[in-house]
Chains A and B, each alone.
Chain A
């Protein structure tokens, strides 16, 4: 059974159709990339999956449950976590607290129990901190735990955003241009990091990327969209040799 299923999803902003009849499926533990030129509707698809936008038409289901037009926090509760294209860390929290916030939705104690520091809450708080530290450790960031997020180098901020999303214990992780603004060497390292996540955590990853080269090495399956419509799908080799993809990226050859 597929983990995520999008059926004929369409999103219109006034007269502009950002995404048109987009359908796809993601299997458990699959790594799939969504690529396309600027403004082709990649992030819009992510925003519809995570509930930030409501699709104009179509149906999205996760784990057999329909999630179309549900609230973002509820969708996260079902097990979909995401990162953002422009880094959105909480500057008022330190690194480990940013990660701990990802676990907040699993908190059992109510605000009164928490404020009174009852034993149940103290246990939960301790566990959250421990798990947060463990997560940072497994990503090699433990020594940064008490820094402010703005003090981290760019690449580490991106990793922290991923760590924070992982803390929600997702079954599907959506990464929105994780390599944006990175040097080729850094983005290669990031791709190795993403493969490491896939092997360590039991989840699927849906990845948006702008540059085709970055995803070629690690994604067995690539979906290409252009102007809101899917134009190709397949293995990296198939995509590389697909004429429509080349057209979308380089423009139509004009020999006249």
Chain B
């Protein structure tokens, strides 16, 4: 009885949320749409990072690299032949890619698969390392991917980047992918394999002594994570329509780590909420980077001021609120009812991720 009520609520919330997306897609201006889309993309980044770090305990800093792979694959697969020709004016594109143009859905899947492949290849040697050493190794691999993008001119157009990528990404694509990512990773973490991942996080030696194949399980977490990061990268390329290697600097990974920590390690819904708050927060704070006057004090515009505030916020979270917004808990209807007894109405963003248990 209770299970069906919660499932119904989840379905209802999803339908309301889809309705909201439909209205938003048709009513809001492109600036607001871009923000809502970016919320979705950062959500996927944070959820996948949570799978690797929050659940499996592997501190990997390779997210920017996987996102880059996905973004370039999707860009190259969705651009038309003319756009490619216009882009590759210094070095001609390799003939195989010159006329290739796929539907967006297949491009997204291909982006995810290639990112997963790259993720697995990196994981194979890197996952023998632990803790800080793994972080350094994956960070290095992520940088290697970026350097390859700069230097593989016939494929990636080097530092010039790719321009005029068709802007296919809309709210349905981006939030649809968030729902799928959440669903798949939530399911995976609830299975016996998910328990094994948590066991690896808690105590690798004991997990191995109980017969858990460490390499296989870590590789699985890495591949699944990299797949969805690749998908998010694809959404990003087809959203901002211009990508170059500089988009995928370490800074992107740093943001993802920050968001995940703020949302709570081990809480997927926490990651989603934190990603939305972070993206909106950054936009709301945009004015402080332009010159302004308080009373007769004139403050000149300082680019990057928002990131200073973000860093302070992150420090506050780490110092005083170490478990983040949600800790290891997930959003659930029961808790919501307990919390808001009588005055229940949460934002549609929170509503879309009802736990199905």
Contact = CB atoms under 8 A, between A and B. Distances in A.
Given A92-B202, A93-B199, A165 B188 contact: no
A91 B220 CA distance: 22
B86 interface: no
Contact of A121 (B191, B195, B196, B328): B191
Interface residues of A, number: 36
B202 A93 contact: yes
B209 A101 contact: no
B191 A115 contact: yes
Interface of chain B, helix or strand or loop or mixed? helix
A105 interface: yes
Contact of A76 (B195, B202, B203, B210): B210
A115 B210 contact: no
A103 B212 CA distance: 10
Interface in B178-200: 184, 187-188, 191-193, 195-196, 198-199
Nearest to A76: B211
Contacts of A115: 184, 187-188, 191, 193
B192 A72 contact: no
Interface string B129-148: 00000000000000000000
Given A111-B191, A117-B187, A101 B201 contact: no
B212 A105 contact: yes
B191 A100 contact: no
Interface stretch (A82-90, A180-188, A204-212, A240-248): A82-90
B211 A77 contact: yes
A134 to B, nearest CB: 17
A104 B195 contact: yes
B205 interface: yes
Given A72-B208, A73-B214, A76-B210, A101 B195 contact: yes
A90 B202 contact: yes
A185 to B, nearest CB: 28
A105 B213 CA distance: 8
Interface string A112-141: 001111000100110010000000000000
A102 interface: yes
B209 A104 contact: no
B199 A101 contact: yes
Given A90-B199, A92-B202, A111-B220, A104 B211 contact: yes
Contacts of B191: 111, 114-115, 121, 125
B193 A76 contact: no
A111 B211 contact: no
A104 B212 CA distance: 7
A68 interface: no
Contact of B209 (A72, A103, A111, A121): A72
A229 interface: no
B184 A101 contact: no
A50 B203 CA distance: 16
A105 B188 contact: no
3 cross-chain pairs, A with B, having the tightest CB-CB distances, nearest first: A105-B211, A76-B211, A114-B191
Interface of B: 184, 187-188, 191-193, 195-196, 198-199, 201-203, 205-214, 220, 266, 328
Given A90-B207, A115-B188, 4 more contacts: A88-B206, A111-B191, A114-B192, A121-B191
